[in-house]
Amino acid sequence: MTLKAPLFACALALCLALAIFPTPASATLLSTLISGSGTITVGTLEFGNFSYLNTGDMPTDAGVNVVAFTDGLGNSGLLFQGAFIDFLGGLGSDALIGFSVTELNNSKIITGASLAGNPAVLGGNGIASVTETFHPVDTATMLSIFAISPGITKSTDSGTFVVPHTQVIVQKDVLNFSAPVGGGVPVLSFITQTFHETDNNIPEPAAIVSLSAGLLTLGLYRLRRRRR
């Protein structure tokens, strides 16, 4: 069973409309960030080491915009925008986005992350999903959003790292799959990614050395007094 022509045309038009909504003037092509080893700084976080792989109907890195993003809670991150899609008749489409996030403020540390987007399946059955993993490996925070038709839709997810980090490597996998029978058009046009930060209560190395030297001096002083 396939979509009728008018329905398919409507689904395609809606998909393209979602995928090309206006983006801020500060948007940077993912291909530019990759080829130039570019970075984006948002708040006290620096995003870099961008990479991208794609199969099927997913856009190339030249078809993905990257924008500095801050959510309503003040958390810093990125917004990715592009036509992440899987048309009928294929074997599924996949895009893998990689990047690093580094805390530039020594008094802060990264404690968690949030993921959001607009996955949908238009006109039939299929799956549109984003699954996100982190390195160092943190089993508590594999984030995912998805639309399963027929079924349910989950557009936001968040988690707290078991151990806070000053740098995190992110792997964001976008997988869309149109069902072989009664297939629709799985689409996703934007993904927002933010990171949670808190004060870093771990002493700086210089402070540890200074404290150790002070304790050593005090210990030697007390030892001399006892010998006298």
Q: What is the pLDDT of residues 151-172, one digit of tens each?
A: 899 999 999 999 999 999 999 9
45: in domain: yes
Quick one: pLDDT band at residue 182, thresholds 50, 70, 90?
confident
Residue-wise pLDDT tens digits, 97-148: 999 999 999 999 999 999 999 999 999 999 999 999 999 876 567 999 999 9
Between CA 89 and CA 110 the distance in angstroms is: 42
As a whole number, mean pLDDT of residues 74-103 equals 95
132-157 core/surface letters (b: 16 or more CB in 10 A; e: else) = bbbeeebeebebebbbbbeeeeeeeb
213: in domain: no
As a whole number, mean pLDDT of residues 172-183 equals 93
Domains held by the chain: number:
1
Chain-centre distance of CA 166, in angstroms? 16
209: in domain: no
38: in domain: yes
In terms of Cα–Cα distance, which of 79, 83, 173 is closest to 120?
Answer: 83
26 CB neighbour count, 10 Å cutoff: 10
Beta strands across the sheet bearing 167-178: 40-42, 45-55, 93-103, 167-178, 126-135, 143-149, 153-154
**Domain assignment of residue 88, given as a range:** 5-203
The percentage of the chain sitting over the pLDDT mark of 70, rounded to a whole number, equals 76
216: in domain: no
210: in domain: no
**pLDDT of amino acid 91:** 86
Between CA 92 and CA 55 the distance in angstroms is: 8
What stretches of 85-144 show up as alpha helix (H) in DSSP? none
Between CA 124 and CA 184 the distance in angstroms is: 4
Residue-wise pLDDT tens digits, 29-68: 999 999 999 999 999 999 999 999 999 999 999 999 999 9
217: in domain: no
Amino acid at 131: T
As a whole number, mean pLDDT of residues 175-199 equals 95
100: in domain: yes
| Helix (H), strand (E) at residue 55 | strand 45-55
Between CA 168 and CA 163 the distance in angstroms is: 11
